Amino acid sequence: MDFIYKIPTHMDFEGQARAEKLSRVIITLFGFVGLVWGYIIQQFSQTVYILGAGFVLAALLTIPPWPLYRKKPLNWQKAKGETETVSSGDSAKKTKKKN
């Protein structure tokens, strides 16, 4: 079951911006097209359905963390943490013992 935890589920910083921008463009576009079509055939329900289709499409494209949104990862510095100091302490002890 370990492979489940290895599936990457994050978006990087730029990916989040792209996802939000893409979702807004899709929903706005579908809303506008739906309004025009609904006005032509004089049925507002069609406008709502087309907007709903845009919502579903935007949800499919931007909610799951697709690899597309993981292209520019932030390179964090390596952790300096305790491991280094502990290891140096150990080496100091070892040197003492050797002496």
Partner 1 sequence: MHSILQRGNAILAYTLSVLACLTFVCFASTVLLNYRTHADLNTVKVVVYVVLWDKIILRGENAVLDFKNMNTKYYFWDDGNGLKGNNNITLTLSWNIIPNAGLLPNIFAHGSHSFQFPVDYTTSRM
Binding site for partner 1 (CB under 8 A): 9-11, 16-17, 19-20, 23-24, 27-28, 31, 34-35, 38-39, 43-45, 47-48, 51, 54-55, 58-59, 62-65
Task: Tell the residue number behind the tokens 């499409």, with chain if given.
Answer: 57
Measured from the Cβ of residue 11, the count of other Cβ atoms closer than 10 Å reads 20
For residue 31, the minimal CB distance to partner 1 (Å) is: 4
Nearer to partner 1, 10 or 94 (CB): 10
For residue 57, the minimal CB distance to partner 1 (Å) is: 10
Which amino acid, one-letter code, is at 27? I
Quote the DSSP letter at residue 1: -
Nearer to partner 1, 28 or 85 (CB): 28
**Distances, alpha carbon 52 to alpha carbons 9, 25, 29, 48, in Å:** 26, 14, 12, 6
